Amino acid sequence: MRWWCWAATVTSAIGRMWRAGSGMPHISANELKTKGVAAIEAALAGHAEAIVSVRGKDRFVLMDMAHYHHLRECELDAALAQTRADLAAGRFVQESAEAHVARLDKLA
């Protein structure tokens, strides 16, 4: 396939992937199967995330690694903030490892 044909095909695919009002491009599982990484790159061009639909239902979200690492960092920051809030509010138990295991055994 000549490069301009490929570019037109990818541009057409991007148009089909974009659903009005969703704000996020969509890729069907079939498009992903036939176009592979080119479909992913096209969908993520200018967008942080893209949705993969399987049989018409949204099933997966694609993102580049930098965006994934950013989200993971945000999760860790939120967990740290929650832990600090719990400590400040006195929602913690100070005990030995043996006492901790015994307490957990009682919960099970």
Query: Has this prediction a pTM greater than 0.75?
Result: no
Q: Where are the domains of the chain?
A: 3-63, 66-107
Fold (topology level) of 3-63: YefM-like fold (3.40.1620)
Phi, psi of 82 (to 5 degrees): -65, -40
Report d(CA 36, CA 30) in Å as an integer.
9
- Element of type H or E holding 51: strand 49-54
- The answer to whether 27 and 40 are in contact (CB under 8 A) is yes
For 17-73, write each residue's pLDDT tens digit: 444 455 789 999 999 999 999 999 999 998 999 999 999 999 999 999 999 999 999
